[in-house]
Amino acid sequence: MEERPCAVLLKFPGTNCDGETARALETVGFVTEVVQISELTPEKLVGVRLVVLSGGFSYGDYVMAGRLARLVTEQKVGETLKEFRDNGGYLLGICNGFQILTQLDLLPAGSLVENTSGRFQCQWVTLKNRAPQSPFLSQLPESFEFPIAHAEGRLVTREAGEAAGYVASGAAALTYATDVNGSFEQIAGLQDETGRVFGLMPHPERFLRQEDHYDPDWSSGKDGGETHGSGYYLFRSLYDSVTSTSE
Amino acid sequence: MSETTILDEIAEAPADHFRILKISDLDGDKLLELSRFMHLSLSKEDMLAVQKIYKEWDREPTDVELEVIAQTWSEHCKHRIFGADIDHEVDGEKESVKSLFKTYIFDVSHRIFDSKPGFVLSAFHDNAGFIKLDDEQAICLKAETHNHPSAIEPYAGANTGLGGVIRDILGAGKGAKPIGSLDVFCFGSPDTSMEKIKADDVLHPLGIMRGVVRGVRDYGNRMGIPTISGAIQFDDSYIYNPLVYCGTAGVIPIKDIDKKVEAGMKIIAVGGRTGRDGLHGATFSSAALDTESHESDQQAVQIGNPIEEKKAADFVLAARDKGLIGFITDCGAGGFSSACGEMLEECGGTIHLDNAPLKEQGLVSWEIFISESQERMVLAVAEEHLPALQELADLYETEMTILGEADGSGILKVTHHGETVCQLDCSKLHDAPTRHLKAKWEKKTKPVEAPVLSRPGTTLKEVLGDFAVVSREPIIREYDHEVQGNTILKPLAGASGDAPQDAAVLRINGSDRLMSMSVSILPEWGKTDPYAMGTACVDECMRQLVASGADPDRIAILDNFCVGNPEAEEELGALVETVKGIADAAVAYGAPFVSGKDSFYNYFETEEGPVSIPVTILISGMGIVEEASHVTGSSLRRNDSVLAIIGHTQSKLGGSVFARQAGLTTAEVPSTDLDEAMKMYRQYYKAVQEGLILSAHDVSEGGLAVTLAEAAFSGKAGLEIDLSSLPMDDDASKAAMLFGESPSRLVIEVAPENLEKVAELFEGLPFAGLGRAASGHQNLNVVWGKEILINESIDELKSLWKNGLAQYY
């Protein structure tokens, strides 16, 4: 029997999407361990193929979102996550996890700041897949829906041109179909140059099954009565990529 | 030099951390003065009873003991009005009620428990009541109010209101996992003019609303608990006393419901530290507000820190799963004194206040013991588990402290700085003096002629645009209602994801069954007919749960009352009538109460005299949905389907949004035919199980016309409706047909080929075809035979409805 790849879900005080994110990872086949930041050591990542930072409010996010999580992570394990990436590891950051990966400089430079609405926004959005080659997005169609739930999801760069550059280079792997929160270039997710680090504000783990969609008839008309939600295919893409590349 | 106070006069041992107070010689007036000075909220009668107890013990109390007794006997903790002897008079008929709680809630529910063995697994004695989900797991629900703090400091008040009820769930059984929250608010109207507010320092309803919503948002979202259900009422009577109800549901393995403290167990505290914030919250909420409260009582409002609570929650759930918990409860009203008092009530034990971690130094004994600082849980654990618990505390970065130990003595002993500051036999404190109250209710309604509708379409727009009906979307979107990934039926859904739903349904990890949650609050009805309000609220809550797919025979409900001045006969009379109403409905529906709470003194001394809220009952409910395929939303799904109505339309217009707008304030409100309603709900459930129902929307605020419009807001189809066969009173007017709010009605959508089968299920019950969904247009067309009543664009109606509140929030 083939060995299932291991994933570590890193949890900070205030991380709160760990349960459903771990469920999503397990559903597609990852052996998933939730690791509390207080117990994180470089050794914890030995043999691990994927590190996931899930949604929530690490340390309350009272300072800039993800800032304290970055400081604590660096203090605990220094450059370990960068080495993990350099050694072929995959990193996924969802919502607060995206904010933290950005803070950790594991993704192209940018900041996730307060939505232009000034509000927390819990709603479903249509997204455009701009990186069909990405190990995270390969099985997703050109356009699909995920839910969002954030107050600080507006991606800004120091110069507006930088964000446009991300679109041109393909770093902006995921964009909103409409202006949802004021993100430059409507960017919803970024990948790094290796393609193995990906962060996004929307929540794929909340759309694993057809019945998670707000419209009970969402899947009618789709081939053979789709039972998976779009989010499933993000995790499935990732699983297939991880298992098809050697460590 | 400050004036000499009564405390200085009677303090025997002026130690710096506690005092012995010589009360044995004081007369009633002096005792009352002492109660007021110490903010004990105890009456003269209560204080005399305390004096008597101490005379029997042949000693004087310490200030800590008096505080503990005040907490124990406070309305907030003891519900003394619900336990009072009441001389009640209805329309001249006299009756006497011995304990509203026992007669109408406890006994009624226990009869229902007995008729449904194995359904209710725990009720009334724990933090929340549990019902059976499946063979492995149980679910619970608890709701509380945080009215006074929210009036004074809306953000912090609502923030800690939700934080507190979440802790109730964490402290239910050996620790339940919070899985969903509800919030229900009553405010003054958002467009209230400043001149209307006749008191200083009263916040404008808009300021209160914004603060309250953000408070709920920031606590719920950070805790990662989806806020899935709610309601808002706007009425002038809530300008001075806004109501803020927060509720949370939880899930627990059945084996972890029973908990017990045993002699030798260690008492530990987990979570936040103790400070001066939140002194006298319990006693503060047992008194009325006035302008002075806004200045002096600010220290009664606590400060929330959801991340502290999140860490404690992670700790508690991990400790429970490892079997490390003997007993657990939360620090709510009364702080350590209530938590430890509850825990050591039978077993007895010692609490060492020196061990309590403090936010600041210099707190005296009573302050530490009754402080309501947030985010604290108290556990009783076997000594051998302490190392494993400490490991978990380190893992989740929460502070754990050993406060004391249980010893089997039956005595609650508290020490501080090497001295005993409190030594009470709690079993002797149960009998707070029974209160004797007078209540009266007189019929307030009279038959009124229904106004003729000249342009029903225009009326529909007015009703749809009323604050009572307009979309709550701007607020709902501020709450993360999908965290945990289990919200299958969301508060806003339908084909465009923004149409209202009757209930919310959660998937439960590890089970094929689901939980439906809904609320009902109809204060307008209670102004003229509190009994009818009671039955209608239970009915609406039931109906919404059933509509969403819940089994009508597996539903449990909660009663949360808010009342103005219980010493005013008329107000207490309205309460008694409401309680009778909910009790009758609970019996008819077999839906027991498993938890409840009451809040009194929601009145305010304005320049023009006291202003009370109307008696307000929130009924919230949880229901078991057998499988995911039963989940039914409230939005139209097809453009080739047919619509039908279940339930009878009465001619009475009272309580409706239409009646309010038309100024018909004394119109009779509809009654609820409880037995017939239950029959319909059971038949509807059969139709759900057979897969015959596409969607269902209950007829509630705004009446049938609003129900139809809301169903069509999914954007799937237009509607062609003919009301000529509507089951109704012979004298029902057009206004009653379109805008009356008779209970027990549901509009259902079914495939044309299934209509006959569904109709058969409802034989002998009020049921009629209403018309069909239309593919050719996007209009709501309603006719009465040949007469066109409504012909409006659904888009236009929807934009009215969607933007009504958006401009204020």
Mean of the per-residue pLDDT values for chain B?
Answer: 93
Question: Of the ranges A24-38, B6-20, B268-282, which one carries the lowest mean pLDDT score?
Answer: B6-20
How deeply is A164 buried, as exposed, middle or buried, from its count of CB atoms within 10 A (0-12, 13-18, 19+)?
middle
Q: Is B223 part of the contact surface with chain A (CB cutoff 8 Å)?
A: yes
Side-chain half-sphere CA neighbours of B809 within 13 A: 28
Question: B396 to chain A nearest CA, in Å?
Answer: 7
Is B484 touching A (CB cutoff 8 A)?
Answer: yes
- Which of A63, A145, A214 is the best residue to mutate to test the B interface, defined by the most B CB atoms within 10 Å of its own CB? A214
* Residues of chain A contacting B497 with CB distance shorter than 8 Å: 123-124, 214-215
Q: Are B121 and B130 in contact (CB under 8 A)?
A: yes
Those of residues 642-671 in B touching chain A at CB distance below 8 A are none
Tens-digit pLDDT profile for residues B617-648: 999 999 999 999 999 999 999 999 999 999 99
> Which pLDDT score is estimated for B112?
97
Residue B380 has pLDDT above 80, yes or no: yes
Reply yes or no on whether the pLDDT at B424 is more than 50.
Answer: yes
Positive or negative torsion for Cα B681, B686, B687, B691: positive
User: What is the domain range of residue A183?
Assistant: 6-244
Q: Is A26 assigned a catalytic role?
A: no
| pLDDT beyond 80 at A201 | yes
* Active-site residue flag, A205: yes
pLDDT band at B442 (very low <50, low <70, confident <90, very high): very high
Burial of B143 (0-12, 13-18, 19+ CB in 10 A): buried
CA–CA distance, B299 with A76 (Å, rounded to integer): 39
In what helix (H) or strand (E) does residue B781 lie, and over which residues does it extend? strand B779-784
What CA–CA distances, in Å, run from B230 to A121, B21, B220, B273, B597? Answer: 17, 47, 13, 32, 17
User: In whole angstroms, what is the distance from residue B643 CA to residue B772 CA?
Assistant: 5
Q: CB-based contact (8 Å) between A119 and chain B?
A: yes
The residue to which tokens 């498993």 are assigned:
B594
Model confidence pLDDT, tens digit, residues A60-92: 998 888 999 999 999 999 899 999 999 999 999
Instruction: Verify whether the Cβ–Cβ distance A212 to B396 is below 8 Å.
Output: no
Q: What is B205-229 written as a DSSP string?
A: HHHHHHHHHHHHHHHHHHHT--EEE
Does any domain span residue A1?
no
Q: Is the CB of B224 less than 8 angstroms away from the CB of A119?
A: no
Does residue B579 register a pLDDT over 80?
yes
Which of A9, A39, A122 to mutate to test binding with chain B, by most B CBs within 10 Å of its CB? A122
pLDDT per position as a tens digit, B323-343: 999 999 999 888 999 899 889
Task: Pick the residue of A215, A220, A232, A235 with the most B CBs within 10 A to test the interface with B by mutation.
Answer: A215
Nearest-CA distance from B550 to chain A in Å?
17
pLDDT band at B1 (very low <50, low <70, confident <90, very high): very low
Do the Cβ atoms of B637 and A217 come within 8 Å?
yes
The mean pLDDT of B148-162, rounded to a whole number, is 93
Asked if residue B771 lies in contact with residue B642, where contact means CB atoms within 8 angstroms, the answer is: yes
User: How high is the pLDDT of residue B573?
Assistant: 97
Task: Report the alpha-carbon distance of residue A203 to residue A232 in Å, rounded.
Answer: 11
Count chain A–chain B contacts defined by CB atoms under 8 A.
Answer: 101
A20 touching B (Cβ < 8 Å) = yes
How near does any CA of chain B get to the CA of A61, in Å?
A: 9
Count of domains forming chain A:
1
The three-state secondary structure class of B697 is strand
Q: How far is B177 from chain A (nearest CA, A)?
A: 12
Look at A206 and B395 and tell me if their CB atoms are within 8 Å: no
Judged by a CB distance cut-off of 8 A, whether residue A126 touches chain B is no
Q: How many helices (H) and strands (E) does chain B have?
A: 27, 34
B-chain CB neighbours of A229 within 8 Å are none
DSSP string, B623-636: EEES-GGG---SS-
Residue A171 corresponds to which amino acid? A
Closest chain A residue to B395, measured at CA:
A38
- At residue B752, φ and ψ (nearest 5 deg) are -55, -40
Distance from CA of B481 to the nearest CA of A (A): 7
Q: Is A153 on the interface with B (CB under 8 A)?
A: no
pLDDT band (50, 70, 90) for residue A138: very high
Query: Any CB–CB contact under 8 A between B481 and chain A?
Result: yes
Q: If you average pLDDT over residues B575-582, what whole number do you get?
A: 98
Under an 8 A CB cutoff, do B628 and A17 touch? no
Interface test with A, best of B482, B487, B492, B548 (most A CBs within 10 A): B482
Query: Among A111-115, B293-297, B370-374, which is the least confidently predicted range?
Result: B293-297
| Longest CA span, chain A | 52
Please determine, for residue B559, whether its predicted confidence score (pLDDT) is greater than 60.
Answer: yes
CA-based nearest distance B214→chain A, Å: 9
Query: DSSP of B512-550, one letter per residue?
Result: S-EEEEEEEE-HHHHHH-HHHHHHHHHHHHHHHHHHTT-
A12: pLDDT strictly greater than 70 = yes
Active-site residues of B, by number, are: 76, 146
CATH of the domain at A150: 3.40.50.880
Q: What is the per-residue DSSP string for B638-669? A: -SS-EEEEESPBPS--TTSHHHHHHT-TTPPP
B281 and A CB contact within 8 Å:
no
Residue A200's identity, in one-letter code, is: L
Give the Cα separation of A63 and B652 in Å (integer): 56
Q: Please state the φ and ψ torsions of residue B156, each to the nearest 5 degrees.
A: -65, -35
For residue A83 the two structure tokens come to 């080495």
- Provide DSSP, chain A: -PPPPEEEEEE-TTB--HHHHHHHHHHHT-EEEEEEGGG--GGGGTT--EEEE-SB-GGGG-SSTTHHHHHHHHHHHTTHHHHHHHTT-EEEEETHHHHHHHHTT-SSS-EEE--TTSS-EEEEEEEEES-TTSTTTTTS-SEEEEEEEESS-EEE-SSHHHHHHHHHHT---EEESS-SS--GGGEEEEE-TTS-EEEESS-GGG-SBGGGSSSTTTTTTSTT---B-HHHHHHHHHHHHHHHS--
Whether the pLDDT of residue B700 is over 70: the answer is yes
Tell me if chain A has a CB within 8 Å of the CB of B482.
Answer: yes
The alpha carbon of residue B209 is apart from the nearest alpha carbon of chain A, in Å, by 15
CA end-to-end span of chain A: 18
Cα separation of B508 and B519, whole Å?
Answer: 20
Q: Which CATH superfamily is domain B634-809 in?
A: PurM-like C-terminal domain (3.90.650.10)
* Residue A79 forms part of a structural domain: yes
* 8 Å CB contact of B485 and A149: no
- Does residue B16 register a pLDDT over 50? yes
Give A-chain residues touching B484 at CB under 8 angstroms.
Answer: 17, 19-20
Residue carrying the six token digits 């507000």: B289
Q: Which residues of B touch A205 (CB under 8 A)?
A: 485
Q: What 3-state DSSP class applies to B726? A: coil
Q: What angle do CA B243, B247, B253 make, to 5 degrees?
A: 165
Q: Would you call B802 an interface residue with chain A, using a CB distance cutoff of 8 Å? A: no
How large is the ipTM?
0.96
Q: What is the pLDDT of residue A78?
A: 87
- Is B482 in Cβ contact with A122 (below 8 Å)? yes
Question: At residue B520, does pLDDT exceed 60?
Answer: yes
Min distance A136 CA to chain B CA atoms (Å): 20
Chain A touched by B633 (CB under 8 Å) = yes
Q: Is residue A67 part of a domain?
A: yes
Structure tokens belonging to residue A187:
């960017």
Residue B428's SS3 state is helix
B698 interfacial to chain A (CB closer than 8 Å):
no
Give the residue among B601, B631, B492 at the shortest CA–CA distance from A210.
B631
Q: Does B799 touch chain A (CB under 8 A)?
A: no
- Could you tell me the two tokens for B424? 């009470």
Amino acid, res. B261: V
Cβ-Cβ contacts under 8 Å for B766 (sequence gap 6 or more): B646, B647, B648, B676, B680, B727
Cβ–Cβ under 8 Å, residues B137 and B251: yes
- Dihedral over alpha carbons A149, A152, A153, A155 (to 10 degrees): 180
Residues of B numbered 297-336 whose beta carbons fall under 8 angstroms of chain A's beta carbons: which are they? 305-307, 310-311
pLDDT (tens digit per residue) in B252-309: 999 999 999 999 999 999 999 998 877 766 566 666 666 666 555 556 677 789 999 9
Backbone φ and ψ of B733, nearest 5°: -85, 170
Domain boundary assignment for chain B: 1-50, 634-809
What residues of chain A lie within 8 A of the CB of B478, using their CB?
Answer: 119-122
Classify residue A112: in a domain, yes or no. Answer: yes
Tell me: pLDDT of B67 over 60.
Answer: yes
Tell me which residue has tokens 């994801």: B497
DSSP B671: P
A216 has a chain B CB within 8 A of its CB: yes
Say what percent of chain B tops pLDDT 90: 84
User: What length does chain B have?
Assistant: 809
Comparing CA positions, the residue from B324, B308, B323, B328 lying closest to residue B389 is B324
Residue A247: pLDDT above 60?
no
Rounded percentage of chain A residues whose pLDDT exceeds 90:
91
Mean pLDDT of A187-212: 97
- Which listed residue (A145, A152, A185, A205) is catalytic? A205
| Interchain pair B633, A120: CB under 8 A | no
Give the single-character DSSP code of B102: I
Distance from C-alpha of A218 to C-alpha of A230, rounded to nearest angstrom? 11
Residues 6 or more apart from B565 whose CB is under 8 A from it? B288, B571, B600, B601, B603, B610, B612
